Structure 1
Amino acid sequence: MEIGISTFLEATPDPVTGAAISHAERLRNAVEEIVLADQVGLDVYGIGEHHRPDYAGSAPAVVLAAAAAMTKRIRLTSAVTVLSSDDPVRVYQAFATLDGISNGRAEIMAGRGSFIESFPLFGYSLDDYDELFEEKLELLLQIRASEKVTWRGKHRPPIQHLGVYPRSVQNPLPVWIASGGNPESVVRAGQLGLPIALAIIGGMPERFAPLVELYKEAAARAGHNPDTLPIATHSHGFVADTTEQAAELFFPPTQAQMNVIGRERGWPPYTRETFDAARSLRGALYVGDPEYVAEKIVLLRKNLGVTRFFLHVNVGTMPHREVLRAIELLGTKVAPLVRQELARIEAKE
């Protein structure tokens, strides 16, 4: 069971003072977070790509590369790369470069993007939303499989027997499919035999069990062994020394940012009642002391069979020292408790 951190490199205004951290400071903080995550034994750190003022993560591979030479074992991934609006050649080159710097610890998590700012920025139409992803994923997988590429599609100039360099240390370079719960995305990942990462940020995680089964069934029908395919989930949360402290620290920035996104998407206001319900044992928020967060992760494993869990620590901007403390607790307290309990369960079985 791998446990790690995901972030969008939030640079949102402080809900009390209104002051916003600069993008430059948030980027430097991220490098410090990755180094600490490596030191405390976490398995993976992921950065999501966004192109808007409240997030600093428009170039995840660059930030991850800055930390790669300062870390030893932690895996470094996008979470996600908006493949639909990017060039698969450049995506592969960036992450193959990261793979070289980190000596084989890079991964790509490819998604269609739940935020759409990158489409007009790079000249793509939302009318082609699904078609762009399918075509570009096809090209990315062809590039990772072969040094020389011949390819033709609709949304990018053709490639005629050209090499793509550098090549990754890992062969093949890991590519995950990220999904917010779309059945078509889950089936696609299964058919291709690619690992799946499910974003679970609302409702009850156990309700994603049918999607996991759909993924495994699609993989089996396509001739892949579903038992060997990694399954990850990504959920918001925060760890502190006490559950009360975690809730009080995490609620204000979470409410502020969720209401910003909610106004864009027509969601109802995010209230303390919503927050408290979500951090209950069966809810999608992993907020609490180490023992409580570990208990929720173990329950997630039982219900979905996940092999990797991402804790998205700061939904809105939080004090850097508190984020570092959460990462420390996740690595030194939560992860050992989860692994100890899973080992105990497996021994009984």
Structure 2
Amino acid sequence: MNTNNLHIMPEIDKSQGLEFGLYTLGDHLPNPHTGQRIPASQRIKEIIETAEYAEQAGIDTFQIGESHQDYFASQAHLIILSAIAQVTKQIKIASGSTIISTSDPVRVFEDASTIDLISGGRMEIIAGRASRVGLYDLLGYSLNDYEALFEEKFNLLLNINENEYVNWQGEFRAPLKNAHVIPRPENDKNGLPIWRAVGGSMASAHKAGLAGVPMYQAHLGGPAEAFKSRIDLYRQTAEERGYDVSKLPVATAGFFFAHEDKLEAYRKYYPHINEGMKKSNGQGFPKQSFAEGQDYRSVINVGDPDLIIEKILYQHELFNHDRYIAQLDFGGVTLDDIKRNIDIIGEKILPAIKKYTKPQGEQ
């Protein structure tokens, strides 16, 4: 086993079953049912309120991604996370994801470590590339360096996280010579859990396994089975590299919307997904693909509580993952609907998921 290069891992109590969290990309989109868009100030305050409400419902983690384009309000996602750190007590918080390619890893660590101190040790970083690439021009980077930027900066972030004094040299920034990077988290390793976000690329899953870092994989739609190959490759690569795979967590994420009536869930949520994707990605979500989500084998976790429980348990059988993160606010979903979803999660979905994913003997 490779014990000399085991990175800092998130603390996940597997005896309690699958962790359940919420994530938001901080989109600031009109409600397609009303055509109205709330002010950005209200949207940001509602994200903070959602995190508070999620904690009260017993949800394990809450994360915010960054985006630097029209129809988003999360350009400064770590600042919003800092506000959440102050108003919550126990829910884990994470960036989801921080676009490390166009950020300075020193600054990311300083900010995230400060949030960890504010929160009492609850902060995690999920580092990603960006599926919306307009921020490269905005922040002064070339898309030609898309892969190289991520690999270099992700490795530098890991270096900073595991060494208080850093010596480093790369292509895209000035060298660091015995640089003292502070503040540090106040834990026994003086660092933070750092996940690697993996999109549709098998190569990225392979690199996550080579590095022996936790893997975070987001899903848009389709059969859950289609996403298993990347998780399998990640674990296989890590094992071949000498890592203890049982200590390498996997998280998945995707669309979520619950309603007591299954068909009403699909009727109500589809316009949010379709219109939101049109504005943020340039094309809508195919209606037929969304309708196919009613099959329990679909990775889209939309429906009544019983169907969603069946879906998540099926996904857990496939992936044997440690954490599932639900995106239920995309496309102008109202705060009332978000809170109703959180109530359903806390009262019906979470107890069942925890019960049936606990190891045998713990149930």
2:129 to 81, 106, 112: 112
- Does 1:39 pair with 2:56? yes
Q: Do the aligned partners of 2:99 and 2:130 also contact (CA within 8 Å) in 1? A: yes
1:313 to 328, 342, 351: 328
Q: Once the 2 structures are TM-superposed, how far is the Cα of residue 13 of structure 1 from its aligned partner?
A: 1.7
Q: Do the aligned partners of 2:71 and 2:279 also contact (CA within 8 Å) in 1? A: no
For 2:152, the aligned partner's letter is: E
Q: Do the aligned partners of 1:177 and 1:194 also contact (CA within 8 Å) in 2? A: yes
2:301 to 286, 293, 307: 286
- Does 1:164 pair with 2:178? no
For 1:296, the aligned partner's letter is: K
Q: Once the 2 structures are TM-superposed, how far is the Cα of residue 271 of structure 1 from its aligned partner?
A: 4.2
Q: Once the 2 structures are TM-superposed, how far is the Cα of residue 187 of structure 1 from its aligned partner?
A: 1.3
Q: Once the 2 structures are TM-superposed, how far is the Cα of residue 341 of structure 1 from its aligned partner?
A: 1.9
1:109-143: per-residue Cα shift (whole Å, max 9, x none)? Answer: 00111111221111000000000001101110111
Q: Do the aligned partners of 1:291 and 1:337 also contact (CA within 8 Å) in 2? A: no
Q: Once the 2 structures are TM-superposed, how far is the Cα of residue 49 of structure 1 from its aligned partner?
A: 0.7
The residue aligned with 2:8 is: none
How is 1:57-76 mapped onto 2 (pairs within 5 angstroms)?
Answer: 57-76=74-93
> Is the partner of 2:73 in helix, strand or coil?
coil
Instruction: Specify every segment of 5 or more residues in structure 1 that has no aligned partner in the other structure, as ranges.
Output: none
For 1:346, the aligned partner's letter is: Q
Q: Do the aligned partners of 2:95 and 2:125 also contact (CA within 8 Å) in 1? A: yes
Of residues 270-279 and 102-111 in structure 1, the stretch that sits farther from structure 2 once superposed is: 270-279
For 2:219, the aligned partner's letter is: I
Give, in whole Å, the separation in 2 of the partners of 1:66 and 1:241.
32
Q: Once the 2 structures are TM-superposed, how far is the Cα of residue 261 of structure 1 from its aligned partner?
A: 4.4
2:226 to 207, 218, 237: 207
Q: Once the 2 structures are TM-superposed, how far is the Cα of residue 220 of structure 1 from its aligned partner?
A: 1.2
1:59-86: per-residue Cα shift (whole Å, max 9, x none)? Answer: 2221111111221221100111000000
- Does 1:331 pair with 2:346? yes
Give, in whole Å, the separation in 2 of the partners of 1:173 and 1:37.
23
Q: Do the aligned partners of 2:26 and 2:67 also contact (CA within 8 Å) in 1? A: no
Q: Once the 2 structures are TM-superposed, how far is the Cα of residue 148 of structure 1 from its aligned partner?
A: 1.0
> Is the partner of 1:69 in helix, strand or coil?
helix
The residue aligned with 1:48 is: 65
How is 1:187-206 mapped onto 2 (pairs within 5 angstroms)?
Answer: 187-206=206-225
Q: Once the 2 structures are TM-superposed, how far is the Cα of residue 326 of structure 1 from its aligned partner?
A: 0.8
1:295-343: per-residue Cα shift (whole Å, max 9, x none)? Answer: 1110000011111001111220111111111122223321111111224
- Does 1:346 pair with 2:360? yes
TM-score, normalization by structure 2: 0.91
Q: Do the aligned partners of 1:89 and 1:164 also contact (CA within 8 Å) in 2? A: yes
Give, in whole Å, the separation in 1 of the partners of 2:27 and 2:144.
29
Q: Once the 2 structures are TM-superposed, how far is the Cα of residue 9 of structure 1 from its aligned partner?
A: 1.6
For 1:225, the aligned partner's letter is: D
The residue aligned with 1:140 is: 157
1:224-254: per-residue Cα shift (whole Å, max 9, x none)? Answer: 1111111010111112233233222211111
> Is the partner of 2:195 in helix, strand or coil?
strand
Give, in whole Å, the separation in 2 of the partners of 1:64 and 1:224.
31
The residue aligned with 2:203 is: 184
> Is the partner of 2:131 in helix, strand or coil?
coil
The residue aligned with 2:6 is: none
Q: Once the 2 structures are TM-superposed, how far is the Cα of residue 16 of structure 1 from its aligned partner?
A: 3.7
Give, in whole Å, the separation in 2 of the partners of 1:288 and 1:35.
24
- Does 1:86 pair with 2:103? yes
Distance 1:140-1:262 versus aligned 2 partners, 3 A rule: closer
Corresponding residue pairs, total:
344
Of residues 205-214 and 137-146 in structure 1, the stretch that sits farther from structure 2 once superposed is: 205-214
Q: Report % sequence identity.
A: 33
Give, in whole Å, the separation in 1 of the partners of 2:65 and 2:342.
18
Higher relative contact order (CA 8 A, sep 6+): 2
Give, in whole Å, the separation in 2 of the partners of 1:271 and 1:226.
37
Give, in whole Å, the separation in 2 of the partners of 1:347 and 1:108.
33
Give, in whole Å, the separation in 2 of the partners of 1:64 and 1:260.
25
Give, in whole Å, the separation in 2 of the partners of 1:6 and 1:48.
8
> Is the partner of 1:149 in helix, strand or coil?
strand
> Is the partner of 1:346 in helix, strand or coil?
coil
Give, in whole Å, the separation in 2 of the partners of 1:346 and 1:306.
16
Q: Root-mean-square deviation (CA), in Å? A: 1.7
Of residues 253-262 and 37-46 in structure 1, the stretch that sits farther from structure 2 once superposed is: 253-262
The residue aligned with 1:103 is: 120
Give, in whole Å, the separation in 1 of the partners of 2:294 and 2:175.
49
